[in-house]
Amino acid sequence: MLTTYAEELVSRVERAISSTTDNQQRVHAAVAAYFDFVAGEGQAYRLVFESDLRSEPEAAAVVERALNRCIDAVAAAVTADAGLDTARARMLAVGLVGLSQVAAQYWLDSDQAVPREEAVALMSGLAWRGLAGFPLVHD
């Protein structure tokens, strides 16, 4: 079950990144993917990110692979569009994935005090303002 939920998250993020070539919309879609995963039915998010299962090496490896695949998806887009080398693109991708994951978890734990769409807009706006500072290297 853990593997299924982890794959679901990766699939959501990969679809978000490939859903458009507009980078501002990509950022919004990637952040929204985390919020959608958190808001989904059941406790998939808690199982993946908060479960005691993560203390088991096999379960921890499943989660680590999923996070790395999410980071890879974001980094590939950043590398292609901003012309950054792999190390710098991955650093930005880790930041976006971390922001998305932590913000979505906070949103869930705060009983969704801020409406989902507004929370996504706040977080994607924050991320976009930083990422927009990197010029495109092509049209």
Residue 35 has pLDDT above 70, yes or no: yes
Helices 23-39 and 2-18 sit at what angle, rounded to 10 degrees? 160
pLDDT score for 110: 92
Rounded Cα–Cα distance for residues 73 and 70 (Å): 5
Q: Residues near 62 by Cβ (< 8 Å), separated by ≥ 6?
A: 2, 3, 6
Q: Is residue 95 in some structural domain?
A: yes
- Write out the residue range of the structural domain in which residue 50 sits: 2-131
Least confident of 17-21, 47-51, 131-135: 131-135
pLDDT in tens, 72-81: 999 998 888 7
Q: Look over the chain and give the mean of its residue pLDDT values, rounded to a whole number.
A: 88
3-state secondary structure of 50: coil
Q: Is residue 137 in some structural domain?
A: no
Question: What band does 128 get if pLDDT is binned at 50, 70 and 90?
Answer: confident
Q: Is residue 31 in some structural domain?
A: yes
Q: Is residue 57 in some structural domain?
A: yes
CATH code at position 102: 1.10.357.10
* The total number of structural domains that make up the chain: 1
Predicted structure pTM score: 0.87
pLDDT in tens, 58-114: 888 999 999 999 999 999 988 887 778 899 999 999 999 999 999 999 999 999 999
